[in-house]
Amino acid sequence: MKKTLVALAVAAVAATSANAAVVYNQDGTKVEVGGQFRVLLTKNSGERADLKNPGSRIDIKASQDLGNGFSALAATQLRFSARDAAGDEKQDFNDIEAYDVYAGFAYDQAGTLTFGKQASNQDDLGISDYTYDLGDVKQTHNHDAKSVKFRSVEWNGLSFGADYFFGDAKKDSATEQNDKGWGAALFYTAEIANDTTLTVNGGYTKVKKFARDQHPVNNNHDYNESAYVVGAELATGPFALAVDWSEKHSTNNTDKLDFGVGTLKSNFHKVEALEVGAKYNYLENAKVYGEYQYQKATPNSGDDKVTMNGFILGTDYWFTKQVVTYLEAGTFEYKNQDNDKDRDNKIGVGFRVYF
């Protein structure tokens, strides 16, 4: 099956140009193919210098015009990294995965309704992150294996989205309804002066988590992970300044959220996160950017805590509209209530080709 997928992907890419290409367009049916090649040479704390794959992908999209403003659509995104035991991407080049597989309907006066494995509306939140790899503090549920997603069209700069996550369908199991939940998001952009825009957005997700066993003393019982993010950006000419605030907690008095690094890593009840970002385009095809991050994790009871202060600086250069290289560096200091500290340093040179 993997060999078949690889063959299809390679054949599709071979038929495209440097841009996302329309490979078929006839009788109201359109098929587009595009993607990104990403490679990152990086040196992080606790690691040797390494070459990583931070999300290379191939996108295949199809649509069928149904008339009167209606259309049917389908899409898939293939990625090429294996996953570890926790389900996180290893950022290697050793596997192929159908990261997105969804289909649905669109109406040009209302919006788009899709079903399947896809990004949630909350994935479009978090406007203070101008980095390629190191930023972003939103803690919402941003991708789901089985969801229904609605995204409205934009009316005078305003749009909204809603999501439903199906979760585990097997009854009478330790993970029954695990990952079941919902989400909502709101987006607004307004031009407040000549060449100056204000963007405000926010969203919320609530996802059920089940970890049942026969030992209540282990604190293993049903709970929800509730999270929200709100943000604003002011952009004028080549300069932009933005801020995001995100908060996540586990309900039912549980401490289920992982946070920290090294000896300071533990489970907490609530994690609060702030990010302030700025960017400046000093050339039409180049910019510098920086971000400050603050995060704080606390348990359900007691005075324990872990805080993080992080700083990120970066610059990029676009050779063409499809090819970019960038340099990013970040330092993140973690500290607990006893003033014990641990630091995570990261630096990387990246290269991306969009097609």
288 contacts: CB under 8 Å, gap ≥ 6: 279, 280, 282, 313, 314, 315
Query: What's the start-to-end Cα distance of the chain, in Å?
Result: 25
Within its chain, how far is the Cα of 317 from the centroid? 23
**What's the farthest any 2 CA atoms get from each other in the chain?**
68
Rounded Cα–Cα distance for residues 112 and 150 (Å)? 6
The tokens describing 255, both together, are: 């401490």
**CA 271 to CA 248: how far, in whole Å?**
5
Tokens of 195: 């060449």
Give 177's DSSP letter: T
pLDDT of 8 reads 35
CB 251 within 8 A of CB 226: yes
Residue 18: predicted pLDDT: 45
Q: What's the CA dihedral at 312, 317, 320, 323 to 10 degrees?
A: -50
Q: What is 127-144+155-355's CATH number?
A: 2.40.160.10
Q: Which amino acid is at 42?
A: T
Residue 213, pLDDT score: 55
Domain ranges across the chain:
127-144+155-355
| Rounded CA separation 240/127 (Å) | 10
**Token digits of residue 164:** 């439903």
User: Going along 195-236, which residue ranges are E strands?
Assistant: 196-209, 223-236
Cα gap 91→138, rounded to integer Å: 21
Q: Which two tokens stand for residue 251?
A: 């309900």
pLDDT of residue 175: 75
- For the chain, 355 residues long, give each residue's pLDDT as a single digit of tens: 434 333 333 333 333 334 679 999 999 999 999 999 999 999 998 889 999 999 999 999 999 999 999 999 999 999 998 777 666 778 888 889 999 999 999 999 999 999 999 999 999 999 999 999 999 999 999 999 999 999 999 999 999 999 999 998 887 777 778 899 999 999 999 999 999 999 999 999 999 987 665 445 555 568 899 999 999 999 999 999 999 999 999 998 888 999 999 889 999 999 999 999 999 999 999 999 999 999 999 999 888 999 999 999 999 999 999 999 999 999 999 999 999 999 999 999 999 999 9
Tally the residues of the chain. 355
Distance CA 297, CA 306 (A): 5
State the Cα–Cα distance between residues 82 and 59, nearest whole angstrom. Answer: 18
Q: What is the pTM of this model?
A: 0.88
CA separation for the pair 223, 242 (Å, rounded): 33
Does residue 266 sit in helix, strand or coil?
strand
Instruction: Extract the tokens encoding 98.
Output: 């159908």
